[in-house]
């Protein structure tokens, strides 16, 4: 009789230990689930952005442009992108930003060409047509043996309907020694001659033809 009693004496602590471990695991699982819920809390998500497609004047162009840039910076819009490399001479990345429902809001290209030129161009889009185009191109070279200078040109194109309503240009230099550099924020945009609307649209349609492209391609050509 003593042998079965001895077995029971050792079995009871083992059962208790198993119950304790199960409770511990359950508590850990609930904690992990709670941590995930806390990490994915709606409070941490960017607020949805309400865009307007009623762009009829310069004020509405500026308002929608600012709203789009804020949405991009905060991650409130989705994006897809691809890169291109044309024989090592022209390289870049093209990104498409879309709001809820997959509506295209901006196309951005960052590029470099022939080692001394780089820049950015952005097409802000409403109803699949650009209403504002921003371009910034930089050509750099040597000012002296140990110093370089960037020659920067910014262009802004405001589109109402199918017409360029206003075109502004800003040009300045940035020197590596910083003593002779201009302050871009203090330089006024000057009215300039507008290019043909078709020129801007050709570039936009070239980028738009790659809206479903991902990964890497060679030369940037119309699909």
| pLDDT digits 0-9 by tens, 59-92 | 999 999 999 999 999 999 999 999 999 999 999 9
The structure tokens 């199960």 sit at 22
Percent of the chain whose predicted confidence (pLDDT) is above 90? 63
Per-residue pLDDT at 14: 44
Question: How far is Cα 149 from Cα 54, in angstroms, rounded to an integer?
Answer: 42
Question: How far is Cα 209 from Cα 198, in angstroms, rounded to an integer?
Answer: 16
Per-residue pLDDT at 178: 73
Longest Cα separation, the chain: 108
The pLDDT mean for the chain works out to 84
The structure tokens 């405001």 sit at 158
Question: How far is Cα 180 from Cα 111, in angstroms, rounded to an integer?
Answer: 26
Percent of the chain whose predicted confidence (pLDDT) is above 70? 77
Distance of CA 131 to the CA centre of its chain: 19
Question: How far is Cα 65 from Cα 121, in angstroms, rounded to an integer?
Answer: 14
**Alpha-carbon distances of 27 from 33, 34, 42, 52, rounded to whole Å:** 10, 10, 24, 48
Question: How far is Cα 67 from Cα 1, in angstroms, rounded to an integer?
Answer: 84
Per-residue pLDDT at 33: 52
Question: How far is Cα 138 from Cα 132, in angstroms, rounded to an integer?
Answer: 20
Whether residue 179 contacts residue 97, with contact meaning beta carbons closer than 8 Å, is answered with no
Positions in the chain short of pLDDT 70? 1-47, 179-182
Helix (H) or strand (E) holding 163: strand 163-175
Per-residue pLDDT at 35: 52
Per-residue pLDDT at 183: 80
Question: How far is Cα 139 from Cα 65, in angstroms, rounded to an integer?
Answer: 26
**Alpha-carbon distances of 61 from 72, 112, 157, 195, 202, rounded to whole Å:** 17, 28, 10, 19, 21
Per-residue pLDDT at 79: 97
Whether residue 79 contacts residue 103, with contact meaning beta carbons closer than 8 Å, is answered with no
The DSSP symbol for 70 reads: H
């Amino acid at each position: 009789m003593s042998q079965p009693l001895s077995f029971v004496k050792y079995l009871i602590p083992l059962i208790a230990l198993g119950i304790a471990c199960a409770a511990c695991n359950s508590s850990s699982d609930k904690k992990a689930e709670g941590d995930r819920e806390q990490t994915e809390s709606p409070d941490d998500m960017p607020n949805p952005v309400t865009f307007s497609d009623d762009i009829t004047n310069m004020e509405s162009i500026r308002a929608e442009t600012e709203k789009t840039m804020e949405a991009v910076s905060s991650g409130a819009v989705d994006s897809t992108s691809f890169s291109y490399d044309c024989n090592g001479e022209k390289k870049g990345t093209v990104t498409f930003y879309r709001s809820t429902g997959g509506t295209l809001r901006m196309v951005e290209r960052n590029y470099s060409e022939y080692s001394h030129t780089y820049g950015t161009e952005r097409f802000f889009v409403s109803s699949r047509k650009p209403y504002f185009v921003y371009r910034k191109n930089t050509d750099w070279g040597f000012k002296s043996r140990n110093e370089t200078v960037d020659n920067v040109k910014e262009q802004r194109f405001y589109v109402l309907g199918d017409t360029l309503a206003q075109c502004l240009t800003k040009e300045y230099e940035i020197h590596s020694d910083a003593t002779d550099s201009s302050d871009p924020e203090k330089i006024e945009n000057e009215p300039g001659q507008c290019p043909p609307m078709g020129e801007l649209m050709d570039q936009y349609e070239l980028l738009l033809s790659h809206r479903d492209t991902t990964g890497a391609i060679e030369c940037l050509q119309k699909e």
